[in-house]
């Protein structure tokens, strides 16, 4: 087995820089899609359903891409062809999204966008396991969190920046809303900028980072030739069998983390699906999307989302040090509790400005969710199956998203009196459960070195 030398800080930086673009694109859809759906006429209980196709596709795509990238080697290496292909299609979807004129068009493009983001994102997780020795993997995943935070800050704040510094109006009049497909100019230009950032950042990683070839390249190439000679049906069935075998042979640590992931992401999807409309309707008091207060609320929600991602960015420098002095298990538990407190406290804020205080806890949890579970997991995975197991691990993000998409609208309509804020606060309870079930996880590594620049 090839011994992996430690990488210097700027090598770590380059290999993870693509996550800045991926998260910029994903952050734009998280911060704006629910509002776009409502601009196009969706009701509160329809919003989660309109998100459904995207996670269902991710459920299928991630393990397939993981399996394919495990068995790929070419001029761009193993993972980079998938980074680049996903980035190209995601950028095209970002360019088209703000020009839709009907709900079905927006839902369809979201499906394409989310699928393409999944194609780019999944191999990035395996990339860390491929290139870094065990002692640097927490640093690698934490640096991904830093870029995720930076990309999310820029994406969430972009409409506000374009409105206040770029002179683009974020709100529209009732007459404008009567026209099908009216989306604020600041949102449109945010998506255009996002397309360029997505492709540019991923392209930088593709050209600046090389991958290690398989341990036995000749045997690997012979296996590739053998696979290519099979008919497409046999190749597809081979991928299905590989996914099945990986699922049945799932490491115990992965099974333990599965419950943590499910409850963590169920809590976060409550935030993703309803926070911008909750800010506009429950905290700003907008009666409907034609009110000027609605546009102001959506704009301020973007600032809040940018702020918790800014917190995530800062915590990314502290998290490895805290994990090194304690444990990754304790670190993730504390961060999840902070997130639970942040979401629950939104029910008590006296004014929209106070929501920034709640964002601190959410940002802490977000940073840990994007790094600690993966750092704990990757050490228990076989080197030649990292991609497929990372793809399967995505199940435990997508399943709660599907549950939220199918059931959260009904809960909002029947139990919460159409309160979008109530749905967001409910997410705090799910994060609390995640912190509790985290106590069952057995981390194979007790401590990790802190992240240093050299």
Beta bridge partners of 74: 77
- Give this prediction's pTM: 0.75
Stretch 296-312: mean pLDDT? 87
Going by pLDDT thresholds of 50, 70 and 90, the confidence category of residue 170 is very low
* Domain annotation covers residue 452: no
d(CA 293, CA 124): 40
CATH classification at residue 189: 1.20.1250.20
Going by pLDDT thresholds of 50, 70 and 90, the confidence category of residue 73 is confident
* Domain annotation covers residue 43: yes
Q: Which of 9-13, 101-105, 191-195 is least confident?
A: 101-105
Q: Name the more confident of 60 and 259.
A: 259
pLDDT value for 56: 73
Domain residues for the domain of 433 are 13-211+245-440
Examine the pLDDT at 451 and tell me if it is beyond 60. Answer: no
* Domain annotation covers residue 390: yes
Q: Which of 41-50, 130-139, 246-255 is least confident?
A: 41-50
Examine the pLDDT at 313 and tell me if it is beyond 80. Answer: yes
Domain count, the chain: 1
77 DSSP 8-state letter: B
Going by pLDDT thresholds of 50, 70 and 90, the confidence category of residue 215 is confident
Stretch 271-299: mean pLDDT? 87
Cβ–Cβ under 8 Å, residues 25 and 350? no
Examine the pLDDT at 177 and tell me if it is beyond 60. Answer: no
Residue 394: both structure tokens together: 């995505």
Is residue 74 classed as helix, strand or coil in its secondary structure? strand
Maximum separation of any 2 CA atoms in the chain, in Å? 66
pLDDT value for 446: 47
Ramachandran sector of residue 25 (left: φ over 0; alpha: ψ -120 to 50; beta: rest):
alpha
Residue 74: what are its φ and ψ, rounded to 5°? -160, -165
pLDDT value for 179: 45
**Across 50-59, 99-108, 255-264, 381-390, which has the greatest mean pLDDT?**
255-264
Going by pLDDT thresholds of 50, 70 and 90, the confidence category of residue 216 is low
Examine the pLDDT at 448 and tell me if it is beyond 80. Answer: no
Examine the pLDDT at 172 and tell me if it is beyond 50. Answer: no
* Domain annotation covers residue 254: yes
Examine the pLDDT at 109 and tell me if it is beyond 60. Answer: yes
Q: Which long-range contacts (CB under 8 A, 24 or more apart) does 223-227 make?
A: 223/71, 224/71, 224/72, 224/73, 227/71
Going by pLDDT thresholds of 50, 70 and 90, the confidence category of residue 207 is very high
Indicate the average pLDDT of the chain.
84
Is residue 347 classed as helix, strand or coil in its secondary structure? coil
d(CA 186, CA 195): 14
* Domain annotation covers residue 227: no
Q: Name the more confident of 369 and 158.
A: 369
Residue 4: what are its φ and ψ, rounded to 5°? -95, 115
Task: Give residue-wise pLDDT tens across range 369-416.
Answer: 989 999 899 888 887 788 889 889 988 988 898 888 788 888 888 888
Ramachandran sector of residue 183 (left: φ over 0; alpha: ψ -120 to 50; beta: rest):
beta
Q: Which of 37-51, 99-113, 236-250, 392-406 is least confident?
A: 37-51
């Amino acid at each position: 087995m090839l011994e992996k030398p430690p990488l210097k800080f700027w090598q770590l930086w380059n290999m993870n820089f693509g996550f800045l673009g991926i998260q910029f694109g994903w952050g734009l859809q998280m911060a704006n899609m629910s509002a776009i759906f409502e601009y196009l006429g969706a009701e509160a209980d329809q919003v989660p359903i309109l998100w459904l196709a995207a996670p269902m596709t991710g459920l299928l795509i991630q393990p397939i891409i993981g399996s394919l990238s495990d068995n790929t080697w070419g001029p761009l290496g193993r993972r980079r062809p998938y980074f680049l292909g996903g980035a190209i299609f995601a950028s095209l979807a970002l360019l088209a999204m703000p020009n839709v004129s009907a709900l079905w068009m927006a839902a369809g493009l979201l499906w394409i966008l989310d699928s393409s983001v999944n194609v780019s994102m999944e191999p990035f997780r395996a990339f860390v396991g491929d290139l870094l020795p065990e002692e640097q993997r927490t640093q690698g995943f934490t640096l991904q969190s830093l870029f995720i935070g930076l990309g999310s800050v820029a994406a969430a704040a972009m409409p506000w920046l374009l409105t206040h510094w770029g002179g683009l109006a974020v709100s529209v009049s009732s007459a404008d809303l009567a026209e099908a497909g009216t989306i604020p100019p600041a949102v449109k230009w945010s998506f255009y900028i996002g397309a360029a950032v997505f492709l540019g950042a991923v392209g930088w990683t593709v050209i600046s980072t090389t991958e290690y070839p398989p341990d036995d390249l000749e045997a690997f190439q012979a296996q590739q030739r053998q696979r290519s000679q099979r008919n497409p049906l046999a190749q597809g069935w081979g991928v299905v069998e590989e996914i099945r075998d990986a699922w049945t042979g799932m490491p115990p640590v992965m099974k333990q983390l599965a419950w943590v992931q499910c409850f963590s992401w169920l809590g976060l999807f409550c935030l993703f699906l309803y926070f911008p409309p909750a800010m506009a309707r429950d905290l700003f008091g907008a009666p409907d999307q034609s009110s000027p207060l609605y546009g102001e609320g959506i704009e301020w929600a973007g600032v809040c989302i940018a702020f918790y991602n800014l917190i995530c960015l800062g915590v990314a420098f502290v998290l490895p040090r805290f994990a090194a002095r304690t444990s990754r298990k304790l670190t993730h538990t504390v961060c999840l509790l902070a997130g639970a407190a942040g979401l629950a406290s939104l029910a008590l804020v006296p004014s929209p400005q106070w929501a920034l205080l709640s964002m601190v806890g959410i940002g802490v949890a977000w940073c840990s969710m994007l790094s600690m579970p993966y750092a704990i997991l990757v050490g228990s995975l076989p080197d030649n199956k990292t991609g497929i197991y990372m793809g399967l691990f995505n199940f435990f993000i997508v399943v709660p998203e599907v549950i939220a998409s199918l059931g959260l609208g009904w809960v909002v309509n029947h139990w919460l009196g159409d309160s979008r804020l109530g749905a967001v606060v409910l997410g705090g309870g799910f994060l609390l459960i995640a912190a509790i079930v985290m106590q069952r996880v057995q981390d194979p590594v007790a401590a990790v070195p802190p992240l240093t620049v050299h």
